[in-house]
Structure 1
C-alpha cells in the first residue's frame, strides 16, 4: 500500500466530517478500495434519526440487515458486550473476524448461512469507536477473496483514530461548519494557531494574537535569526518540558497523525507551584480552522501543518449549561459539573462547592465522559473548548 493512498483516506475522513467536497459514501468507497473489501459498514442515525450505513449507499442487503439480520450478527453481538469505557481503553484496537468469533462457529451460524454468504461477508476486519455509545466499524470480503491479515490490521489501525476524531467533529461541529470561515475565526473565544512542522506560524486568529503578544503568556512567538527563512515567527511554550511535548504533537499531526491534547504550564518560577494556565489541542490543519490560502483543493487538510487550539484555564470561556444538555444529553447537574471542570477546578473543589460527596462527583465525571465520548479529562477539555465555538453573544444559548 502506498503512503499517499493512506493520506488520501485521512483527507476523505475530515472532508466527509465537515461535508467539504466529499461524502461519507466517498470515504466508504476509498476504504473498500484501500482494504480490497466488498462492503464497509458503519451504522449511525442520519439527520432524521433513521439508522443507516454511513459508508455505503443503501441497497437490498442493507434493508435485509436492518429488518432482521442485525439481531443475528455475531460481530455486532460481540460489540454490544463492550462498554464505552472499555472501547476507550482499546482505542485503535483492530481485530480480525476470527479473533472476535472462531471462524468455524461463524461459518456455521444462521447469520452467515442465510445472509452473510450472499452479501459478501465471509471475512471481516473491524474496530470499535467510542462515542456516546459503542459504534462498530466493519470491512468485509467475500468467499472468493483472501482473508484479512496483519498488514490489513496495521493499515486500519492508522485510520481508526482519525475516524473517531472525524465522527466527533460530525457530531459536534457540523451545525457550525458553515460559519467557521476565516472571517468568523476572530470572533472565536479560543485561540487558533496554524503552524508548519518547524513551528513556523502560518496563521493565527485575534484571540491567539493577543495570547502571543502577552509577555506573561505561557505561549509566545519569536523571530528566527537571519538565514534562509525570514519573516516567519516560531511558536514556542515558555516551559521547556511543555515546549518539547508541543513540538512532538505538532510534528506528529503534520505527518498525518490524529493529534493530541496537553496542558501548558507557566515557565519555572513564574507562578507558585506547578500551575497549568492553558489547554491546547493539536490536530491536523483543517480548512475550516485556517485562513491560509495554501490549501489542497478538494481536501480538508493542509499537509505538513498542524492547528493548535488554545483555551485559558484560569479564565475559561465555557459553553452555557443548556448547550451541553442539548448537545450531549447531559442532565443539568452533569452539565454544571462539566462547566466547572472545564474551568480547571478539581473534582474535590466541585464536591465541596456543590456540597455533595466526592464519590457522587466522580460518578458524574464518568457519566460525562461517556456521554461526550471523551477519552479522558484532557480530551473532555478539548470537546468543551470546541463546544464553546457553537455559541456567541446574543445566540439562543447566551
Structure 2
C-alpha cells in the first residue's frame, strides 16, 4: 500500500512544480497522510518575496511561528549551521528529531513548552534540501502519536531527491504562466526536451530547438523542430563523457529516480571565447509534456521517459529594452542605459557611446536605482540579471525594435525568430 502512495506523492511533486493539476498544499496533504503526520513544513518565499509554508494553507500557527517562534526553533537553528556544501554531501540524508536534538533537550525547550506542544510538533522527521540555499523539510506528529521510525526514514529518503528536483524545476520555470501548455512552454527561456530511455526525443519546446540547432552547442539531435517529435531522432552530447553521463541520468529518471544535474561542454569547434557551455537538469517526465494532443491526460509521471531542462550556463544575457520599460516604468532612454550598464559598461563609456554628458548618465542611474528599488549598482545588476531570465530568445520582447512592431518569419510565424 505504501508503494502506491509513494508513487502518488512523486506524481504530486512534479505536478505541483509545474502548477499543473495539483498544488504544493495537495502534496503536503499527501505527505501528511503517507507519514501519519499532523503538520508538514517547507518554508519558502512566494513570488512577492514573502516567506510562507509551501505545504499547508496559512493558519494561526504559521503566523505565530513566522513572527516569533522561528527564532526559537532548535531544529531550524541546527539546520542553519549546515552549509550548502554539506547539504550536497548529505543529499537524501533523513534524520529523526532525536538525531538532530536530544529528545530530553527538545521537550524542555522554550519552543516546545510555549508553541510546539500546542501545534502538533512533538515528533519530527526531516531532511535538508539544497536549492541555492539550505531549506529544511519537516513532518511533525503530536504527543498522542507514535514517534517516527526507520521505515519512515527509508520512505522519506526516496522522496527527498524528487522534492529537490521539483523545487529546482519550480525555480527555473517561475517566470511562466500558471499553466504550462505547449504555447507557454515555447515562451520559456529554458529548453524543455522529453526523451525516452533510449534517448529518442519525444518533445522539444522552441528554446530547446534553438539550443539544439546552435553549431557551438555540445547538445544536438537530428531534425530539431518544436513540438512532438516522431521517429528515431536521438538526443546526444558531442563529448563522449558528457553523453555517457546524460544517458545515465536519463536512464535513472526514466526508471523512477530523481535524475540530476550536469554541465554539457561546447563542441570542440566552438569559437574561442564562446560561452556555449550548457547546464542540464534531468528529471522524470510528466505525461502532459509528451504531446500537445495529450494535455488533458493528467499529471502522472511517464515511466520510461525523462525531461531534460537546459540553458546556457555562461553566456551573458541582457533583458530587452521593452521588457524593462514594462517592468519598471522606465523611459526608453533609461532602459537603454540599464541594458548597457548590465553588460558591465562604465557610466563614462555609456556617456561617450550615447554622446551625452556624464552628469546626464549619472542622473539616469539615480533614477534607475529609484524605479527598480535597487539599493546600489550591485543590487541593480542583480535585478537586471533576474529580469533577463523572463524572456527567451526570439520572444516578442526580444524582437521589439525602436517601435512596438516586430518582423515575422517568411512562413508568417513570429515565434521562432532569433
**Residues 195-231 of structure 1: CA deviation (Å, up to 9, x unaligned):** 11122221224555566678997445579xxxxxx94
In structure 2, list runs of 5 or more residues that go unmatched.
Answer: 224-229, 328-338, 345-377, 402-418
- Equivalent residue, structure 2, for 1:164: 164
- Equivalent residue, structure 2, for 1:34: 34
- Equivalent residue, structure 2, for 1:307: 307
- Equivalent residue, structure 1, for 2:261: 261
**Residues 261-296 of structure 1: CA deviation (Å, up to 9, x unaligned):** 3334578x87899x9955252222246755444567
- Contact 1:182 1:290 (8 Å CA) reproduced: no
Q: Secondary structure at the match of 1:176?
A: coil
- Equivalent residue, structure 2, for 1:78: 78
- Equivalent residue, structure 1, for 2:197: 197
- Contact 2:39 2:139 (8 Å CA) reproduced: yes
**Residues 78-106 of structure 1: CA deviation (Å, up to 9, x unaligned):** 22333444434433322110111101111
Measured in 2, the distance between the counterparts of 1:168 and 1:58 equals 23
Measured in 2, the distance between the counterparts of 1:390 and 1:257 equals 32
- Contact 1:200 1:234 (8 Å CA) reproduced: yes
TM-score under structure 1 length normalisation: 0.69
Against the structure 1 CA distance between its residues 127 and 191, is the aligned structure 2 distance closer, same or farther, given a 3 Å change threshold? closer
- Equivalent residue, structure 2, for 1:176: 176
Measured in 2, the distance between the counterparts of 1:53 and 1:184 equals 27
Q: Mapping of 1:280-299 within 5 angstroms?
A: 280-281=279-280, 282-286=282-286, 291-294=291-294, 297-299=297-299
Measured in 1, the distance between the counterparts of 2:241 and 2:122 equals 50
Could you tell me how far 1:140 is from its partner in structure 2? 0.8
Against the structure 1 CA distance between its residues 85 and 244, is the aligned structure 2 distance closer, same or farther, given a 3 Å change threshold? closer
Could you tell me how far 1:252 is from its partner in structure 2? 1.1
Measured in 2, the distance between the counterparts of 1:170 and 1:271 equals 32
- Equivalent residue, structure 1, for 2:7: 7
Q: Mapping of 1:373-392 within 5 angstroms?
A: 389=392, 392=395
Q: What is the root-mean-square deviation of aligned Cα atoms in Å?
A: 4.5
Against the structure 1 CA distance between its residues 119 and 251, is the aligned structure 2 distance closer, same or farther, given a 3 Å change threshold? same
- Equivalent residue, structure 1, for 2:397: 394
Q: Mapping of 1:341-352 within 5 angstroms?
A: none
Q: Secondary structure at the match of 2:175?
A: helix
In structure 1, list runs of 5 or more residues that go unmatched.
Answer: 224-229, 327-331, 338-366, 373-382
- Equivalent residue, structure 1, for 2:372: none
Measured in 2, the distance between the counterparts of 1:170 and 1:303 equals 21
Q: After superposing the two structures, state which structure 1 stretch, 120-129 or 42-51, moved more.
A: 42-51
Measured in 2, the distance between the counterparts of 1:265 and 1:58 equals 44
**Residues 133-179 of structure 1: CA deviation (Å, up to 9, x unaligned):** 43321101122322212222222222223323333443442331347
Against the structure 1 CA distance between its residues 78 and 259, is the aligned structure 2 distance closer, same or farther, given a 3 Å change threshold? same
Measured in 1, the distance between the counterparts of 2:219 and 2:51 equals 45
Query: 1:129 and 2:129 equivalent?
Result: yes
- Equivalent residue, structure 1, for 2:278: 279
- Contact 1:319 1:387 (8 Å CA) reproduced: no
Q: After superposing the two structures, state which structure 1 stretch, 205-214 or 37-46, moved more.
A: 205-214
Measured in 1, the distance between the counterparts of 2:64 and 2:271 equals 64
TM-score under structure 2 length normalisation: 0.66
Could you tell me how far 1:58 is from its partner in structure 2? 3.0
- Equivalent residue, structure 2, for 1:101: 101
Q: Mapping of 1:19-58 within 5 angstroms?
A: 19-58=19-58
- Equivalent residue, structure 1, for 2:317: 318
- Contact 1:261 1:279 (8 Å CA) reproduced: no
Could you tell me how far 1:395 is from its partner in structure 2? 5.9
- Equivalent residue, structure 1, for 2:404: none
Measured in 2, the distance between the counterparts of 1:393 and 1:189 equals 12
Measured in 2, the distance between the counterparts of 1:244 and 1:385 equals 32
Against the structure 1 CA distance between its residues 391 and 60, is the aligned structure 2 distance closer, same or farther, given a 3 Å change threshold? farther
- Contact 1:278 1:313 (8 Å CA) reproduced: yes
Measured in 1, the distance between the counterparts of 2:214 and 2:48 equals 47
Query: 1:16 and 2:19 equivalent?
Result: no
Q: Mapping of 1:233-252 within 5 angstroms?
A: 233-252=233-252
Larger C-alpha radius of gyration, 1 or 2? 2
Against the structure 1 CA distance between its residues 110 and 246, is the aligned structure 2 distance closer, same or farther, given a 3 Å change threshold? same
Against the structure 1 CA distance between its residues 3 and 248, is the aligned structure 2 distance closer, same or farther, given a 3 Å change threshold? farther
Measured in 2, the distance between the counterparts of 1:386 and 1:256 equals 30
